[in-house]
Amino acid sequence: MEYLIHILILIGIYTILSVSLNLIVGYTGLLSIAHAAFYGVGAYVAALMALKLQSPFLINIICAIILSSLLGALVGIPSLRIRDDYFVIATFAFQVITFSVLNNWVSFTGGPMGLPGIPQPRIVGVGISSNLRFLAVVGVLCVLTLCVTRRIVQSPFGRVLKAIREDEVFAQAAGKNVAANKVFVFVIGAGMAAMAGVMYAHYISFIDPTSFNVMESIFILSIVIIGGAGSLWGPVVGAAVLVILPELLRFIGLPSSAAANIRQLLYGGLIVAFMMWRPRGFLGEYTFNREQVRE
């Protein structure tokens, strides 16, 4: 039972991450490889505040969301001048810089040794001392994330994001403030990712930079692509599939030394297969294949 709860908690955390990235990638059409950076910033802010300041959990999560959102604005600004492959490279650079800071600022972040002993959260005096309670909190945050995302995509702001995705020049010609909307969607996505990072840090009770590297960003992007970009429920399906899939490999009897490499090969193969034969993923409304869209 505890194992099942653990899997559900991971699905919940990655659902928050993929839904937030889907706002940027699926609804706005901005391909970003920096989402694990926002995720990591949220985790480290909450962990450091809990360990060094013993501040309340709710204060920690608010501060993590604010700081990560500000960084999201910094990443969104380059999208005003550069596009497509150049923008992907810019987000990749931000991801690498963030990882390097977390890995090398040893006196503050613990460097490669990480931050152990992150305390269990307490919400309005109630300690989240069991996995079942933690699952309940993650479930509430998942529902909140989905509800907020649904309101966003159904609002005039959401329609502007889709217009930017389909034809940025036309959206600008129609009088829409493309620059402000691009930056704002990064702010929202980064804040949501930070929320997932806070939950991860308190759940695992130990974090280190390797949990927030480039491969993690690619994994989150894989969830969006396979589940379906531009769909509210696509990332939920993608998170469930890609979290459960490696767990199923445990029952095949693969040696532990080869399991990690096989998992990466499996993720890469799935991405290639979906991009070739089903670029919209399971439930997607948007494809990265522009020529197919025009057809």
Q: What is the mean pLDDT of the chain?
A: 88
Collapsed DSSP state (helix, strand, coil) of residue 294: helix
Residue 214 identity: V
Q: Is the pLDDT of residue 280 over 90?
A: no
Given this model, what pLDDT does residue 291 score? 46
Round to whole Å and give the CA distance between 51 and 243.
29
In the chain, where are the structural domains located? 2-211
Tell me the per-residue pLDDT of 120-146, one tens digit each, with 9 for 90 and over: 898 888 888 889 999 999 999 999 999
> In terms of pLDDT, which residue wins out, 148 or 78?
148
Round to whole Å and give the CA distance between 211 and 227.
22
How far the first Cα of the chain sits from its last, in Å, is 49
> In terms of pLDDT, which residue wins out, 8 or 280?
8
Confidence of residue 203 (pLDDT cuts 50, 70, 90): very high
Round to whole Å and give the CA distance between 63 and 194.
10
From residue 111, alpha-carbon distances to 100, 106, 212, 255 in Å are 9, 4, 13, 30
> In terms of pLDDT, which residue wins out, 284 or 288?
284
Report the candidate in 274, 270, 269 with the shortest Cα–Cα distance to residue 287.
274
Tell me the per-residue pLDDT of 74-114, one tens digit each, with 9 for 90 and over: 988 887 788 778 889 999 999 999 999 999 999 999 999 99
Q: What are phi and psi of 126, to 5 degrees?
A: -100, 120
Q: What are phi and psi of 79, to 5 degrees?
A: -65, -10
Query: Residue 208: which region, alpha, beta or left (left: phi > 0; alpha: psi -120 to 50)?
Result: beta
The pLDDT of 172-197, averaged and rounded, is 93
Collapsed DSSP state (helix, strand, coil) of residue 207: strand
Residue that the structure tokens 């909190």 belong to: 137
> In terms of pLDDT, which residue wins out, 60 or 278?
60
Round to whole Å and give the CA distance between 48 and 26.
32
From residue 201, alpha-carbon distances to 7, 57, 66 in Å are 16, 12, 17
Question: Could you please report the per-residue DSSP string of 92-122?
Answer: HHHHHHHHHHHHH-HHHH-GGG-EE-PPPPE
| pTM (predicted TM-score) | 0.91
Round to whole Å and give the CA distance between 239 and 147.
17
